Chains A and B, each alone.
Chain A
Amino acid sequence: MQSRNNTVSELLMKLFRRQIFIPIAALLLLALFNLIADPSFFKITLGTNSAGDPVLSGYLITILDYGSELAILAIGMTLVTAASGGQDISVGAAIAISGSVVLRVLCGSNSRPETLQAPIIVAFLVSCLVAMAFGAFNGTLVAYFKIQPMVATLILFTAGRSIAAWINNNELPIISEPSFGYFGGFIPGIPIPTPVFIAVACMIITALTLRFTNLGLYCQAVGINDKSSRLNGLNPAFIKFLTYVILGLCVAVAGLIKVSRLSSINYSVIAKDIEMDAILAVALGGNALSGGKFNMTASILGAYVIQFLTTTLYKFNVQSDALSAYKAVVVIALVVLSAPIVREKLTALKNSLKKQPAAKEVA
């Protein structure tokens, strides 16, 4: 009996030490809370939307749907965090820019076009190029001018939404073409929201890249020790630069989904505070925000946990403006629990509790 107890606790301890423990525990906690509060949270129904196509609906589907952009951003943000030891706070503004570019290319000079002026794929590719160029701008400042990432990206953060408005002459183009809405909504006949497929595709591409190239290894090496990775023949500056360009690509994909959801854009509101959510996803995944080792799965899971939390709060009729207060409390609790010092103290406490009964038995 004693030995079995030990193995169970050892197993728990092992899991406790694993990085992915934090997001999983948070997810389970949230799920449990919802199960107790209202089991209908987990109900998924098959209905029809206004166009008469079959669609799945339910809170879980909402989470998967709206968590997509965040998960895609979390991929890029994890790499940036790992390699440069800092975060890109300009992703929200960059999404505004890339979304604005998509609309600009699709609409041409007319802000309410009857037909699209260019194929969607062209618009997407142009926005990819633009977003990567802005990523390259951030990357240059961080990698070659050695400016702290948070500060370097502050530039785009302040200017981004202004640039986005400037691209479309401050007009708000609206696209009436239904096929443009497929990226953020449903493709007729398929009941699962399209963003989920896009997110899964991004994850598969990332997984393959990390599996078959050295990108992940190099990012970690540069993040852990810039100088020694240089001595080992890596080019730290270029790898940092590359991660920002990759994040730019992620931003373009997320931007396409965002504008497709509305078929329009609101420069000051689109992807508001998403940079904070993306950083929190990385932190929730248990990744060190100071760079180095990372766990991509944990980050992506972290993104969905954040979306889970948001949806849960919405369900309890929390005002969207007040949402952040509750989020902050949860985040602080999680971060405090996962802080190394607190963990050490908890382990010490547990050990002393274990020792006391043992000592009694001996006595």
Chain B
Amino acid sequence: MATKTMKPVSLRNKLKNMTDTNLLLLITIVVFFVMYIGAMLFLGKGFLKPQTFFNILNANAALIILACGMSLVMITGGIDISVGGVTALVSMSCAVYLDHHNGNVFVSALLALAIGLAFGLIQGYLIAYLDIQPFIVTLAGMFFARGMTTIVHTNPFNVENTAFKALKETRVLIPGMGSVNKAGNYVDAYIEIGVIVALLVVAALFVILRWTKLGRSFYAVGGNNQSALMLGVNVKRTKFYSHLICGLLAGIGGYVYFLHVGSGSASHASGAEMNAIASSIIGGTMLTGGVGNIIGTLFGVLSLSTIQNIVSSVGLDQAWWTGITIAAMLCLFLVIQSIVMSRKSTNGLKLPFKKMRKE
């Protein structure tokens, strides 16, 4: 970050002059590292092994991809809650294609992309060109995808296709990060293919958002629709592209999810859309649009799953604790955002007690 090379200005000033995007990103990254290092110090054991971190990545590769698409749409000022449904539909369709029709793995990946693209295209068209509320359109998209999943096939089943299984079992070893397991053997640390896809997606989106005209127009449209129009940005097309890319990423994310679980089921990825939104928000993306960062989203997903791991390793392993912790974390970050946004406006945060003082 550029701040490192700058002359030492007082920290307060530095924070004040930071853009919202950078400040929120900084908060997210700091929170993640504090949490992880805290877990290493106080809980030890599992958290000291690098593999724990890689397992978090393995389990959440799909969520990272979905959350990236979500961030993109949120930066542009929209929302897409169909991603979880698309994930389920992709995994079910691919599973049926591979097992019941003896499909080829490469074609199944294409099928996943096609499903994602189709959702992105239709939803993008309805939202951008017919000016229908994104929430309603993607809500219907979610309903449709979930319903279609059961129409494609009702019962959950595991995929037995050999080529697919080989791909699923493929591990990328990371040298030097291994650990000694209980039996005393040295085991290399590994990641799954999905993680590489996820990291590539993050890198690609980072480049697009930071250095291309399209990326800047996403921020412009999300920040202020009208002024973006005045500046000559094609607002409708930009919105359309954001939903198109999000749909495509939902397709990719769906395939990565499928690769991780290796089965088709109508209840797959239930609530994934909410986790994706939560990760984006924790990563510093605002639903009002115009503020956000892909790297933040990556850390958002990591923070979310780290806290889940911490909660379960502390011993609060009843299912409800996870939900409550995620909600508490989301609440915390929303309040932080609200404070960050109000620090620049002259009125400040309009809390009831502040207002009373003024009157």
- The judgment on whether A and B are partners is yes
- Complex contact B147–A328 (CB within 8 A): yes
CA distance A165 to B86 in the complex (A): 29
Q: Give the nearest-CB partner of B85 in chain A.
A: A324
* B349 vs chain A, min Cβ distance (A): 7
Q: Which residues of A from 312 to 356 have beta carbons under 8 Å from B? A: 319, 321-329, 331-332, 335-336, 339-342
With the chains together, A8 CA to B192 CA distance in Å? 68
B301 within 8 Å of A (CB atoms):
no
CB-contacts of B340-355 with A (<8 A): 341-342, 349-352
What B residues does A279 contact at CB under 8 A? 135-136, 139
Q: In angstroms, how far is the closest chain B Cβ from the Cβ of A326?
A: 7
Cβ contact within 8 Å between B143 and A331: yes
Q: Given contacts A335-B140, A342-B130, are A321 and B327 in contact (CB under 8 A)?
A: no
**A residues near B139, Cβ cutoff 8 Å:** 276, 279-280, 331
- Segment at the A interface, from B195-203, B208-216, B273-281: B273-281
Contacts of B342 in A (CB 8 A): 146
Q: Complex formed: what's the CA distance from A155 to B136 in Å?
A: 20
Chain A contact-residue range equals 35 or more
Chain B residues with Cβ below 8 Å from A324 are 143-144, 146-147
Q: Closest CB of chain A to B304's CB: distance in Å?
A: 11
Quote the shortest CB–CB distance from B56 to chain A (angstroms): 19
Contact yes or no, B350 A237, CB < 8 A = yes
**Is A144 on the interface with B (CB-CB < 8 A)?**
yes
For residue B245, CB closer than 8 A to chain A, the reply is: no
Instruction: With A157-B274, A237-B350, A327-B143 as known contacts, state yes or no: A339 contacts B327, CB within 8 Å.
Output: no
A162 and B281 alpha carbons, distance in the complex (Å): 21
Contact (Cβ within 8 A) B277 A151 = yes
User: Which residues of A sit under 8 angstroms from B142, Cβ to Cβ?
Assistant: 328
Q: Contact: B323 with A159, CB < 8 Å?
A: yes
| Bound CA span A238–B273, Å | 31
Chain A interface mostly helix, strand, loop or mixed?
Answer: helix
Which segment, of B8-16, B18-26, B331-339, faces chain A? B331-339
Q: Is A289 positioned at the interface, with any CB of B under 8 Å from its CB?
A: yes
Any A CB within 8 A of the CB of B141: yes
4 closest cross-chain pairs (CB), A and B: A325-B147, A159-B327, A162-B323, A162-B320
B126, B144, B349, B351: residue with the most chain A Cβ atoms closer than 10 Å: B144
Q: Known contacts A158-B327, A159-B324, A289-B133; decide if A147 and B147 are in contact (CB<8 Å).
A: no
Contact of A166 among B126, B133, B288, B324 (CB under 8 A): B324
Closest-CB distance, B92 to chain A (whole angstroms) = 12
Residue ID in chain B nearest A282 by CB atoms: B136
Q: Assess the A151–B281 pair: CB atoms within 8 A.
A: yes
Check: A283 CB closer than 8 A to any chain B CB: yes
What is the 8 Å Cβ interface bit string for chain A, positions 289-324, against chain B (1 contact, 0 not)? Answer: 110000000000000000000000000000101111
**Are B320's CB and A165's CB within 8 A?**
yes
B330 touches A155 (CB 8 A): yes
Contact B136 A335 (CB under 8 A): yes
Question: Which of chain A's residues have a CB closer than 8 A to the CB of B33?
Answer: none
Beta-carbon contacts under 8 Å, A79-136 to B: 87
List which A211-255 residues lie within 8 A (CB) of chain B: 237
Give the docked Cα–Cα distance between A157 and B287 (Å).
Answer: 17
| B157: interface (CB < 8 Å) | no
Nearest to A340 among chain B residues (CB) is B131
Q: Which B residues from 293 to 342 make CB contacts under 8 A with A?
A: 318-324, 326-328, 330-331, 334-335, 337-338, 341-342
CA distance A259 to B319 in the complex (A): 22
Chain B nearest CB, measured from A324 CB (Å): 4
Asked whether A158 lies within 8 Å of B334 as measured between CB atoms, the reply is: no
Q: For residue B79, which residue of chain A has the nearest CB? A: A150
User: A162-B321, A339-B131 known; A154 and B330 CB under 8 Å?
Assistant: yes
Contact of A336 with B126 in the complex, beta carbons under 8 Å: yes
Q: Report yes or no: B350 in contact with A328, Cβ–Cβ below 8 A.
A: no
Contact B334 A339 (CB under 8 A): no
Q: At the interface, yes or no: A61 with Cβ under 8 Å from chain B?
A: no
In the complex, the chain B residue whose C-beta lies closest to that of A161 is: B323
B123 to chain A, nearest CB (A): 10
Check B350 against A289 for contact (C-beta < 8 Å): no
Is B104 an interface residue when CB atoms closer than 8 A count as contact?
no
- In the assembled complex, the Cα of A158 lies from the Cα of B351 at a distance in Å of 25
Q: How far is the CB of A292 from chain B (nearest CB, A)?
A: 13
Q: How far is the CA of A53 from the CA of B163 in the complex (A)?
A: 62
Tell me the nearest residue of chain B to A283, going by C-beta: B136
- Let me know if B2 is at the binding interface, CB within 8 A: no
In the assembled complex, A170 has its CB within 8 A of some CB on chain B: yes
Q: Which of B140, B141, B328, B334 has the most CB of A within 10 A?
A: B140
Q: Does A57 contact B (CB under 8 A)?
A: no
A322 lies within 8 A of B147 (CB) = yes
Q: How far is the CB of A213 from chain B (nearest CB, A)?
A: 22
Does A266 make an interface contact (CB < 8 A)?
no
A172 beta carbon closer than 8 Å to chain B: no
B136, B326, B352: the one contacting A237 at CB < 8 Å is B352
Which residues from chain B contact A289 at a C-beta distance below 8 Å? Answer: 133, 135-136
In the complex, identify which listed stretch (B41-49, B148-156, B168-176) lies at the interface while the others stay far away: B148-156
Out of A145, A147, A162, name the residue touching B319 (CB < 8 Å).
Answer: A162
Q: Which of A145, A150, A161 contacts B338 (CB 8 A)?
A: A145
Cβ contact within 8 Å between B137 and A151: no
Interface: A141 (CB within 8 A): yes
- Shortest A237–chain B CB gap in Å is 7
B39 contacts the other chain (CB 8 A): no
Across-interface contacts of B140 in A (CB, < 8 A): 328, 331-332, 335
Q: Are A156 and B136 in contact (CB under 8 A)?
A: no
Chain A hits for B350, CB < 8 A: 144, 146, 237
From B135, B142, B147, B338, residue with most partner A Cβ within 10 Å: B147
The smallest C-beta distance from A40 to any residue of chain B, in angstroms, reads 26
Set of chain B residues within 8 Å of A237, measured between Cβ atoms: 350, 352
Q: How far is the CB of B72 from chain A (nearest CB, A)?
A: 17
**How far does the Cβ of A58 sit from chain B's closest Cβ, in whole Å?**
27
Contacts of B144 in A (CB 8 A): 324-325, 328-329, 332
Chain A contacts of B352 at CB under 8 A? 144, 237
Cβ-defined contact, B330 with A158, below 8 A: yes
Least Cβ distance of B353 to chain A in Å? 10
A323 touches B147 (CB 8 A): yes
Complex contact A148–B287 (CB within 8 A): yes
Is A341 within 8 A of B320, CB to CB?
no
Q: Which residues from B are CB-within-8-Å of A147?
A: 334-335, 337-338
Contact with A along B253-273 (1 / 0, CB 8 A): 000000000000010000100
